[in-house]
């Protein structure tokens, strides 16, 4: 079998974002057709059985310190350098690098060994900064990867447009491939659509994801409807600020759960009347699909990538908490609306499979194998 | 001798606007006048005027139903279409049908309201055209035996409906039947009707392009007394643009039919000149909508049913006319969430591009209506 080397960052069960889930699912499928070697740093020691070969890159001197952003940047630099030293080019037909944290090594390995490079852009600094004060040194690395890759995969046309506009990417090199969703994990059977009086935000509490707009909408709904609970699940730098904004409603109507584990998340989706993602800039939005699989209607911002492929969601401008609050009230008031969006949304979300993503990735690989 | 019976439906709803929840209790203007005007002006120019001229100039006989909702919009605009239609009806070639004024679903749930709407429509027809119709066409040909009894009680002589697969498997649509209530019953020949309304400009259809001589031959080869070609008036010039040759087709058709000895009849002429077959009972509610030919185009999901039930509760309002306008079937049609090709048709017509927004705007309006017009 032909070999592909993947430059990754994290693998389940240890991960902090969608990148690990993506890596795991995509390459589990692709390992049926190809020899896959996935490089990951040993700061998040992969454990368990993988159908592909996981190669750890030793970075242990930085262990545990990567939450501070300066250190994180240095850590990434170090990872890329050691990755290049440890790289085994034998029989490798293609290198596939994921996000800026591996782009530098990807480009340099391509130059050293003359192996074609494919990159996937899962998110950009432009998205992560919430469109506010992005770090130039990270954008430079993203640009470096985007310019030097032979092919680019983006997770939505929304992201494709961002990298064309902000990074001057060559449109012809880019292919959009949507993520899949592990529907068996979130499908809890037939959902009961009787009113639960619960509205859910689930995601990191960063400006990128727009929790502030969720909170603004919550306050507007609470002006009209009593005893509705707004659950903010997740943790992040905006937590304290949000708690202050919640004011008198904190704990009674606006509830912060902090970090939630998978089984709690699954329960939260199922127990809510509606899921909200008012992201300022979200390349894909996996949680939207997870919510839909569980049968819970979603309201998302127009700047959420997966929305471009969805009919059975409601969409608002991320800043428009007036309209968001109106949609929330309609969904809470009308069971028929909840049920119709929820049931049709579930059917629609089940079309997003990792099989499909893997097949489309294989087609992109095909030109180089 | 065999005859072709054309029936055309003229209807344009008063679409509601993208009415926000924040407007409830403040704004009682519900209709999207700008959009309605824009669409109606386009249709008048592309379809109503040229098609009515084609009918007049080529002596094409047909029966036409015009919803009250459309008629009042045309009258408000002082449209020349009204004069053309007057000319056509006066010539004796054109005949007019009765229906519910608001193009509503009232026949399926409230006889009293149904009666009010049909009488309002008759009243408007008689004032505008000086005609009292004797044939009834229910909204989207919705029909069952109970509806036909209500229509009989209102004084009509004839009613038309869809020739569904179930009906035509035992009864040819190409004859006139009697209803249990004693009315004359016409069944739409959906294959031959859809050849014009749906397939005429479809390039992937193996009979494309359809010319009048070929079509006349198909009719000649079809057995029966009457070939009932029932379709929307907008078929001509709006759903099939002028450039597709649809008007040329209609201009040529009467002569092509004549070559086979087939003439065109209005519904009343057919009733006078053709024999009646046996009594046909239709217990199940049918319509000409979607592939299901039932009520599912308007009441197919729980959202539509919820909106419909909420509308019903407003019956005792002070503003019956406004309530009537909120009963127009199109409001519910836009909320449909079917799959595959039927849904494409629903989406083509949906001005809000989302069935959920159609529901939200509609229920916002009903909330305002409830607060404003109910004591």
Q: Sign of torsion, CA B101 B104 B108 B113?
A: negative
Residue numbers in B near A321 (CB within 8 A)? none
Q: What is the CA radius of gyration of chain B?
A: 20
Nearest CB neighbour to A336, from listed B21, B305, B364: B305
Same domain? For A191 and A108 the reply is no
Number of domains in chain A: 2
Q: Is the separation of the CB atoms in A277 and A298 below 8 Å?
A: yes
Question: B21, A326: Cβ pair inside 8 Å?
Answer: yes
Nearest CB neighbour to B363, from listed A314, A322, A334: A334
Same domain? For A112 and A172 the reply is yes
Question: A311, B364: Cβ pair inside 8 Å?
Answer: no
CATH number for the domain spanning A331: value is 3.40.50.2000
Q: Which helix H or strand E contains B340, and what residues bound it? A: helix B340-349
Residue numbers in A near B305 (CB within 8 A)? 336
pLDDT for A128 equals 87
Q: How many CB atoms lie within 10 A of CB B372?
A: 16
Cα–Cα distances in angstroms (integers) from residue A344 to residues A287, A297, A322, B356, in the given order: 17, 9, 26, 11
Residue numbers in B near A330 (CB within 8 A)? 21, 359-360, 363-364
Residue to mutate among B20, B25, B306, B307, with most A CBs inside 10 A, is B306
Residues of the domain holding A154: 3-180+353-366
Question: A326, B356: Cβ pair inside 8 Å?
Answer: no
Same domain? For A73 and A135 the reply is yes
Same domain? For A325 and A362 the reply is no
pLDDT for A315 equals 98
Chain A positions touching chain B (beta carbons under 8 Å): 311-312, 314, 322-323, 326-327, 329-330, 333-337, 339-341, 344
Q: Which domains does chain B have, with CATH numbers?
A: 3-279 (3.20.110.20), 296-373 (no CATH)
How far apart CA B312 and CA B199 sit, in angstroms, is: 37
Q: Is the separation of the CB atoms in A336 and B307 below 8 Å?
A: yes
Question: B356, A340: Cβ pair inside 8 Å?
Answer: yes
Q: How would you label A113-126 residue by residue, b for 16+ Cβ within 10 Å and e otherwise?
A: eebbbbbbbbbbbb
Closest Cα of chain A to B207: distance in Å?
Answer: 34
Active site residue B45: no
Task: Report the residue of chain B nearest A316, measured CA to CA.
Answer: B357
Question: A330, B337: Cβ pair inside 8 Å?
Answer: no
The rounded average pLDDT for each run of 10 residues, N- to C-terminus, in chain B (375 residues) is 96 98 97 96 97 98 98 95 97 97 98 98 98 98 98 98 97 98 98 97 95 97 97 96 96 97 97 96 96 95 98 95 98 90 80 95 98 88
| ipTM confidence | 0.93
Residue numbers in B near A341 (CB within 8 A)? 303, 356
Same domain? For A221 and A299 the reply is yes
Q: Is the separation of the CB atoms in B119 and B154 below 8 Å?
A: yes
Question: B302, A339: Cβ pair inside 8 Å?
Answer: yes
Closest Cα of chain A to B336: distance in Å?
Answer: 10
Nearest CB neighbour to A335, from listed B22, B306, B364: B306
pLDDT per residue, tens digit, chain A (369 aa), is: 789 999 999 887 766 667 888 999 999 999 999 999 999 988 766 666 889 999 988 876 555 545 455 678 888 998 999 999 999 999 999 999 999 999 999 999 999 999 999 999 999 999 888 767 889 999 999 999 999 999 999 999 999 999 999 999 999 999 999 999 999 999 988 899 999 999 999 999 999 999 999 999 999 999 999 999 999 999 999 999 999 999 999 999 999 999 998 899 999 999 999 999 999 999 999 999 999 999 999 999 999 999 999 999 999 999 999 999 999 999 999 999 999 999 999 999 999 999 999 999 999 999 898
The pTM (predicted TM-score) of the whole model is 0.94
Among B99, B140, B162, B234, which one carries the catalytic annotation?
Answer: B140
Residue numbers in B near A342 (CB within 8 A)? none
Same domain? For A175 and A246 the reply is no
Same domain? For A91 and A210 the reply is no
Same domain? For A168 and A212 the reply is no
Same domain? For A159 and A279 the reply is no
Cα–Cα distances in angstroms (integers) from residue A23 to residues A287, A357, B6, in the given order: 17, 11, 63
Closest Cα of chain B to A340: distance in Å?
Answer: 6
Nearest CB neighbour to B337, from listed A323, A334, A340: A340
Q: Which residues contact A97 (CB under 8 A, 6 or more apart)?
A: A6, A7, A103, A105, A106, A117, A118, A119, A120, A145, A149
Same domain? For A234 and A176 the reply is no
Same domain? For A206 and A84 the reply is no
Chain B positions touching chain A (beta carbons under 8 Å): 20-22, 301-307, 337, 354-357, 359-360, 363-364
Same domain? For A141 and A210 the reply is no
Q: Which residue in B224, B152, B217, B218 sits closest to B188, CA to CA?
A: B224
Phi, psi dihedrals of residue A279, rounded to the nearest 5°? -60, 140
How far apart CA A358 and CA A32 sit, in angstroms, is: 10
Nearest CB neighbour to A326, from listed B20, B303, B304: B20
């Amino acid at each position: 079998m032909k070999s592909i080397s993947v430059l990754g960052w994290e693998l389940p069960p240890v991960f902090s974002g969608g990148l690990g889930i993506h890596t795991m699912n995509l390459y589990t499928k692709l390992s049926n057709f190809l020899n896959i070697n996935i490089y990951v740093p040993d700061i998040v020691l992969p454990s368990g059985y993988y159908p592909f070969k996981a190669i750890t890159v030793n970075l242990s001197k930085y262990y545990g310190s990567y939450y501070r952003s300066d250190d994180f940047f240095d850590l990434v630099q170090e990872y890329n350098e050691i990755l290049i030293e440890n790289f085994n080019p034998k029989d490798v037909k293609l290198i596939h690098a994921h996000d800026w944290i591996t782009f530098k090594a990807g480009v340099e390995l391509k130059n050293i060994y003359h192996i074609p490079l494919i990159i996937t852009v899962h998110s950009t600094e432009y998205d992560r900064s919430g469109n506010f004060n992005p770090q130039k040194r990270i954008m430079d690395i993203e640009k470096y990867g985007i310019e030097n890759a032979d092919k680019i995969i983006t997770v939505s046309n929304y992201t494709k447009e961002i990298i064309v506009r902000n990074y001057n990417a060559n449109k012809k090199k880019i292919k959009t491939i949507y993520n899949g969703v592990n529907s068996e994990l979130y499908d809890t059977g037939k959902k009961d659509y009787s009113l639960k009086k619960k509205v859910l935000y689930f995601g990191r509490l960063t400006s990128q994801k727009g929790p502030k707009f969720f909170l603004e909408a919550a306050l507007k709904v609470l002006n009209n409807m009593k005893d509705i609970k707004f659950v903010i699940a997740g943790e992040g730098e905006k937590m304290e600020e949000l708690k202050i904004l919640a004011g008198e409603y904190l704990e009674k109507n606006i509830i912060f759960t902090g970090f939630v584990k998978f089984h709690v998340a699954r329960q939260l989706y199922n127990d809510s009347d509606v899921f909200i993602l008012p992201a300022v800039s979200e390349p894909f939005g996996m949680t939207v699909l997870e919510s839909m699989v569980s049968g819970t209607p979603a309201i998302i911002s127009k700047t959420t990538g997966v929305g471009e492929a969805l009919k059975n969601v409601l969409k608002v401008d991320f800043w428009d908490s007036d309209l968001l609050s109106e949609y929330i009230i309609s969904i809470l008031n009308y069971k028929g609306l909840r049920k119709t969006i929820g049931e049709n949304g579930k059917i629609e979300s089940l079309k997003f499979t990792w099989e499909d993503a893997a097949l489309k990735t294989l087609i992109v690989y095909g030109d180089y194998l | 001798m065999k005859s072709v019976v054309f029936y055309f439906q003229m209807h344009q709803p008063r679409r509601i606007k993208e009415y926000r929840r924040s407007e409830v209790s403040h704004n009682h203007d519900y209709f999207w006048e700008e959009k309605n005007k824009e669409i109606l002006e386009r249709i008048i120019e592309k379809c109503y005027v040229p098609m009515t001229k084609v009918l007049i100039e080529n002596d094409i006989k047909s029966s036409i139903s015009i919803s009250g909702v459309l008629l009042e919009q045309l009258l408000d605009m002082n449209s020349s279409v009204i004069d053309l239609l007057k000319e056509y009806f006066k010539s004796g070639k054109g005949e007019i049908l009765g229906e519910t004024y608001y193009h509503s679903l009232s026949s399926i749930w409230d006889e009293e309201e149904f009666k009010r709407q049909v009488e309002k429509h008759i009243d408007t027809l008689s004032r505008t055209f000086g005609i009292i119709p004797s044939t009834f066409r229910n909204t989207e040909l919705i029909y069952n035996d109970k509806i036909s009894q209500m229509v009989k009680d209102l004084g009509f002589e004839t009613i038309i409906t869809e020739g569904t697969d179930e009906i035509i498997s035992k009864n040819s649509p190409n004859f006139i039947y009697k209803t249990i209530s004693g009315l004359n019953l016409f069944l739409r020949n959906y294959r031959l009707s859809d050849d014009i309304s749906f397939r005429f400009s479809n390039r992937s259809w193996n009979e494309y392009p359809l010319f009048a001589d070929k079509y006349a031959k198909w009719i000649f080869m079809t057995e029966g007394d009457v070939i009932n070609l029932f379709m929307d008036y907008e078929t001509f010039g709006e759903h099939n643009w002028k450039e597709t040759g649809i008007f040329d087709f209609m201009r040529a058709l009467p002569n092509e039919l004549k070559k086979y000895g087939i003439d065109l009849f209005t519904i009343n002429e057919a009733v006078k000149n053709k024999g009646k077959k046996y009594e046909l009972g239709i217990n199940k509610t049918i319509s000409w909508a979607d592939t299901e030919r039932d009520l599912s185009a308007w009441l197919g999901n729980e959202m539509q049913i919820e909106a419909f039930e909420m509308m019903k509760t407003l019956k005792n309002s002070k503003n019956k006319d406004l309530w009537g306008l909120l009963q127009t079937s199109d409001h519910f049609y836009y909320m449909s969430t079917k799959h595959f090709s039927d849904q494409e048709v629903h989406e083509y017509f949906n001005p809000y591009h989302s069935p959920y927004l159609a529901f939200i705007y509609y229920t916002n309006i009903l909330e305002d209506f409830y607060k404003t017009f109910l004591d």
